[in-house]
Structure 1
Amino acid sequence: MEIIRPAIKDGWSDGSDFCNISHRVGIDTGESLIVRGGARNNSDLISVGGAPNIAAKLSDLKNGHATYITKRVYDDLTDDLRYHTSVGQFWSKLPIPVRIGGTSNIVYGSHTRWEA
């Protein structure tokens, strides 16, 4: 929101018409397989498995957050990535579980931004 949107708005004469694009990130943890797929001389590495599938589906959620994580990820976070004394709770639990691929997943969302 602070880098791409201003660049679009300033970089194109009609940038104000479409600069409000947004994206979301989904994160899950678990085993996955990395395979090379595609046509000869035009292949990519592709993640296959439950965790990459769930992460991809979480990035499609439109519940008002920029980042979504599963409870499995949340449980692995250290306290400093869950809560900050001056900011409060970084993650909000979504009110209902999210069904993905026949499984019910408890999901947390956040707008918190971590900078290096």
Structure 2
Amino acid sequence: MRGQVSELEDRLSAWVKDALASTWDRRNGQKVPEPADLTLKNEAVDLDAVVLYADLADSTDLVTSRSALFAAEVFKTYLFCAAQIIRSMGGVITAYDGDRIMAVFIGDSKNSNAAIAAYRIEWAVEKIIQPAIQAQYPKNTYVLKQKVGIASSPVTAVRTGVRNANDIVWVGNAANIAAKLAALKSGYSTYITEAVFKMLNDKAKKKNDGMSAIWTDLGGVQTFGRVYGTTYWRSP
């Protein structure tokens, strides 16, 4: 046993020293990379990105107060609808984490596309998933709530893990802030940073009738700076 521990220690020490000493191969990306696009060595891709996190609210209560299979149905339907909508708006799904999904948007319309994806996710919850739950389980009082957080920043994509068990880690403020926005307890379904808000086009900032602005300026929230929130939903 001692020999196995010593062998593992030697292997880990050698890998860490090599990783820290190796020169980074860093490049600007034109698309969101897949794990296969990067090596497990020091290779990184830089992107100017918008990150979206969609998070099922109160999932702990759902799991503890309902049957496991009912909770699984809620998880599956929410994540499926969110994923399909994200892809329809040009987003690339980068991770599933329990009851939430992370996506990256790039390109000239990345801010607006992410915001419209958030509207459509809320639409799917209100007009597709919740009615279907009520129809299937008429005595069930569960009401699905969710939140989407959106933030922008330069991000660096790095592949990490071991052979046959690895993924991309996204290093940058956008991923961290988007996840925290999606966890806010205020009564909005979508939150965006001021930087994202300033880059929204008219289609993303106004209702379909083109008259009323839909975003509420929430002021400074925690350490995120100025944040905007909305309960707005929009059908495709």
Compared with structure 1, are the counterparts of its residues 47 and 9 closer, same or farther at alpha carbon in structure 2 (3 Å cutoff)?
farther
For the 8 Å contact 1:81–1:90, the answer to whether it is kept is no
Give the aligned residue type for 2:132: A
3-state secondary structure, aligned to 1:29: strand
Structure 1 residue 38 displacement after superposition: 4.3
Contact kept? 1:26, 1:57, Cα under 8 Å: yes
- Fraction of identical pairs, as percent: 35
| Maintained 8 Å contact 1:27/1:70 | yes
1:110 aligns with 2:230: yes
Which ranges of structure 1 fall in alignment gaps of 5 or more residues?
A: none
The structure with more helix, counted as a fraction of residues? 2
- Does residue 21 of structure 1 match 2:144? yes
Superposition deviation, residue 99 in structure 1: 1.8
Between 55-64 and 38-47, report the one with greater CA deviation.
Answer: 38-47
Question: 1:13 Cα shift?
Answer: 7.5
Unaligned runs of 5+ residues in structure 2 are: 1-125
Output one character per residue of 1:48-79: Cα deviation in whole Å (capped at 9) or x when no partner. 21011111100011221111110000111123
* 2:180 counterpart letter in structure 1: K
Alignment coverage as a number of residue pairs: 110
TM-score normalised by structure 2 residue count: 0.41
Question: What is the root-mean-square deviation of aligned Cα atoms in Å?
Answer: 2.4
Give the TM-score normalised by the residue count of structure 1. Answer: 0.75
- Give the alignment of 1:1-116 within 5 angstroms: 1-12=126-137, 16-18=140-142, 20-38=143-161, 40-84=163-207, 87-94=211-218, 96-100=219-223, 104-116=224-236
